[in-house]
Structure formats: C-alpha cells, structure tokens
Amino acid sequence: MFNTPAPQAGSTALSIHFRHFSKRSFTELSLNLKQYFGVSLMIKKVQTPSGNFAFHITNTASTVSILISSDVFSDTKFKLVTRDFAMAFVQYNYVIDLIAETFEPTMPLVSFLNRLSTITQGTLRNWNIQ
C-alpha cells in the first residue's frame, strides 16, 4: 500500500492504493485526485471464470457514477448513477460485489442487462442505469 501525506488547503492531492486478495482473485486500484471540486476516481477490477470486469467509480459534489466494462462485453459499457451521495458512499463496494456475483460465465449481454435492471429496481433503488 502506498499513501501520500494529507494535502494542504487549496492544493492538489494524489494518492494511490493497491490491494490484492488471493482468496477471490480480486484486485483494487484506487486513484484519488482532489482538485477544486473534490472529484475522485476509483478503478476496481474483478475477475470471473469467463472474463474480467472493470468498475470506474467517479464521485463529484452531486453524483456518484459507476462505469462498468468487461472484456466479455468489449463494445458495451454500462453506467450506474445516483444523486444520493451519502448512500452511494456506503454502497458502491456493495454494488460492485453484487454485479460481479450476478454475472454468470455464459450469460449473454441482454441477460446481464436484464439482471442489472432488476437489481436497480429492487435492492439498489437509488441507482439508475444510463
């Protein structure tokens, strides 16, 4: 793990955090860039038996968005967005785990999108697919 010291007011901070869990083939790379509006970006990669998912989480002052991409669905990306910032701060790890667990090795793209839609209408009501 690598961390930089806390930034002074009005400065730009860059911190890089890397974790790897051998139990579940889980890798997390976190890159936080704070400048002017406190925008931060986190990239999480989850390996499944048939492919890898990448989750790009972006936080701004008013929204949190998760861009989902996969080497299985190479031409398609999904974006989940919420304006419920407090809930999103607590939920984004849960959202990523839930989506990765929902994926099945031979699942067609349309089935994955249907499951994603079902999740956002139920457990994750405050997230919208864009």
Residue 107 lies in a domain: yes
pTM: 0.51
**What length does the chain have?**
130
Q: How far is 65 from 79, CA to CA, in rounded Å? A: 7
Q: pLDDT tens-digit profile of 3-25? A: 334 444 443 333 333 344 433 44
DSSP β-ladder status, 64-70 and 51-59: antiparallel
- Quick one: how far is CA 89 from the chain centroid? 11
Looking at residue 37, its pLDDT comes to 42
Residue 7 lies in a domain: no
Q: How far is 123 from 15, CA to CA, in rounded Å? A: 32
Residue 80 lies in a domain: yes
Which residue numbers in the chain have pLDDT < 50? 1-37
The CB-side HSE value for 33 (13 A sphere, CA atoms) comes to 4
Q: How many domains does the chain have?
A: 1
Amino acid at 97: D
Could you tell me the residue range of the domain that residue 31 belongs to? Answer: 13-129
Looking at residue 56, its pLDDT comes to 74
Looking at residue 65, its pLDDT comes to 75
